[in-house]
Amino acid sequence: MSISGVTSSSSSIADQISTVGTKKTDDGVSFSAVLNEISSDNDSADESTVISSSFTKSSSIKSSSYSASMSEFLHNKSDKDEVANVVKTLATTSDYELCSIANSPDGIHGVTYSSTGQPVTSASSAAFNELSVSVLAGRTAIYNEETAKGTDPADIFDKIVSYMNTQPQSYLDAINWS
């Protein structure tokens, strides 16, 4: 599936939910690879050097502190084209539920949300999928409007984070935002 130049992974759900960074651009680079490459300051890094792992709420960096750190980093980054690419990826990449199959004997039954441990149900997935379309549209609209105004990409990042923080907690939990 392709949305605004972004392609989702066609690998199995078990492969997707066991790693971070399953969202991919058309050229096959995952969002986590982009962030890791930017934050590592290592120009030779590529996706093959990125170690992906699942994060739980107890082991992940809280979104607010991560967002603040990332914002500071983006504001201080001298390569504005690189910052613009990170922000565009954030703005145009679909969100996916971050699930755990750790306690699932078959990878289908007993699947839970990684951040909360709550069971993933057909109703919760349907609600997530419906909302994710409008959330992506909102992020993309912010990006397009602010880019047209000539807003600094790091400031666009801050606006997108502010927008994301207004989303329902159940949605943010599903993507491990909080």
Cα angle 142-143-149, degrees, rounded to a multiple of 5: 90
Tokens 């400031």 -> residue = 155
Tokens 């923080």 -> residue = 165
Q: Give the separation between CA 91 and CA 31, rounded to whole angstroms.
A: 11
pLDDT of amino acid 114: 93
132-149 mean pLDDT: 98
Tokens 């599903």 -> residue = 174
CA 150 centroid distance within chain: 24
Question: pLDDT tens, 72-81?
Answer: 999 999 999 9
Q: Could you count the other beta carbons within 10 Å of the beta carbon of residue 119?
A: 12
Mean pLDDT of the chain: 75
